[in-house]
Amino acid sequence: MLLTLTTTHSPATDLGYLLHKNPSRPQSFDLSFGKAHVFYPEATPERCTVALLVEVDPVGLVRNRRGPAGEGGALEQYVNDRPYAASSFLSVAIAEVFGSALSGHSKERPELVNTPIPLRVVFSALPCRGGEELLRKLFEPLGYSVSARRLPLDENFSDWGDSPYHRVELEARLPLQQLLSHLYVLVPVLDNDKHYWVGDDEVRKLLRHGEGWLALHPAREAITRRYLKHQRSLVDDALAQLADESEPDPDTAAEVHALEEEAIERNISLNEQRLGSVLAALKASGATRVLDLGCGEGRLLQALLKEKQFTEIIGVDVSHHALEIASDQLHYDRLPPMQKARLRLLHGSLIYRDERLAGFDAAAVVEVVEHLDAPRLAAFERVLFECANPKTIIITTPNREYNVKWETLPAGKLRHRDHRFEWTRAEFQAWANGVVSRFNYHVRFLPVGPEDAVVGSPAQMGVFELHPDS
């Protein structure tokens, strides 16, 4: 079975440092079920491709067999797709051959480990039991563009029909470590075949390699069931642990930390100024159907409800707790029917593709980007600019330069403990300009709050508009 992985990151040969495999030296590794070979069909500063070729020895597998026999009886043990198709053997090979890259270590390029880089993976034969639809359900929410071609059972006998195998290409801008974790978990999920023993250890492996993405994946239940080969008690255990992972974080932290942030910003009631600026920009855009993404406790929603222009208002947040507070503050249960019909609160994460967000006029993303892990920004960009794709997008975020003006804020600290980063004006603008060059938007920047001649305003706003021709 063959997998190739290409990057056009500059210099592309950094791929060798990330994988701890020298592009100029082919290497082979002994595995318990066969052999793995690693080599680079191309390695230039512009483009670098690594190939992982895994040879599975089905006869050796029968001799060294652990666990129960396959279901297909004696013949299937010898004649099967293992040598040709990507399966859990590929996951084992990835873990053995690219172990340090999979766990996010790079001695030579530590700064690249968490950097999203353009990556393209090609599987020569990937079994998709569940069809192309399942393939898309698994990879698209993680930010991949997927293309797949179903392979015939035998090119010489077309009436035998199609096989479950596909030639698959996946493309994404992600840290390499994340891509390897996705493959490690999802390839066996697609295969869904029983050919190795599943024990308690598999729950641990699933949670370890699913860390940071599986708990919020819309297909997490199906992934967990298939990965653990439908063994009920293991599946229940893993899902319970995943629920723990997805819940408490945003909720418990958000409340306390929001108070801290409010105290720091209170002096000039930045909150109100920000709300005013966002509302004005939304009104000026002419939008009637709007999204408030990362709506938190619903302050903007409240302001939007007061404006008749907005006929459909959707608040989205990853935190159940924030949504409950929003619903209380808005007295959602007691709203008159006409008002209630205009407003909906949805639970969802902005780093997973979500069809419910498509088809709106405008989206506001107020003080949310800085809460996303930097490596997740690429996924967020696609969810917002490509999938939701509203005509107008308004993004606000703190201006880090202004932090020197907050008396209560220690030097070098961020305003909020949940902030993963805070951008200077140049950094925000560089990010936004990158986004509009990849998606069909243009952007203008506005200050929010009183402007200082040197450090600018406390918050910054980008107003993105879709090009009229799209």
Q: What are phi and psi of 238, to 5 degrees?
A: -65, -40
Footprint of ligand SAH on this chain (CB under 6 A)?
250, 254, 294-296, 299, 317-319, 322, 349-351, 366-368, 371-372
Structure tokens at 257: 């930390």
User: 79 vs 280, which CB is nearer to ligand SAH?
Assistant: 280
| Closest distance of CB 349 from ligand SAH, Å | 4
Nearer to ligand SAH, 186 or 322 (CB): 322
When the beta carbons of 79 and 259 are compared against ligand SAH, the nearer one is 259
Least distance (Å) between residue 299 CB and ligand SAH? 5
CB of 306 vs ligand SAH, minimal distance in Å = 16
Q: How far is the CB of 68 from ligand SAH (least distance, A)?
A: 41
And the tokens for 437? 């060059």
The residue with its CB nearest to ligand SAH is 296
Taking the complex as a whole, how short is the minimal distance between the CB of residue 256 and ligand SAH, in angstroms? 13
Q: How far is the CB of 75 from ligand SAH (least distance, A)?
A: 49
Closer CB to ligand SAH, 127 or 458, in the complex: 458
Pairing of strands 2-7, 48-56: antiparallel
- Nearer to ligand SAH by Cβ, of 127 and 294: the residue is 294
Task: Please identify, using beta-carbon distances, which residue of 125 and 366 lies nearer to ligand SAH.
Answer: 366
Q: Counting Cβ atoms within 10 Å, is residue 31 exposed (0-12), middle (13-18) or buried (19+)? A: middle
Q: Which is nearer to ligand SAH, 19 or 448 (CB)?
A: 448
Nearer to ligand SAH, 86 or 242 (CB): 242
Burial of 167 (C-beta count, 10 Å sphere; 0-12/13-18/19+): middle
CB of 221 to ligand SAH, least distance (A): 19
Specify whether the CB–CB gap between 361 and 391 falls below 8 A: yes
Cβ-based nearer residue to ligand SAH, 181 or 319 = 319
* Shortest reach from residue 407's CB to ligand SAH, in Å: 23
Output the smallest distance, CB 298 to ligand SAH, in A: 8
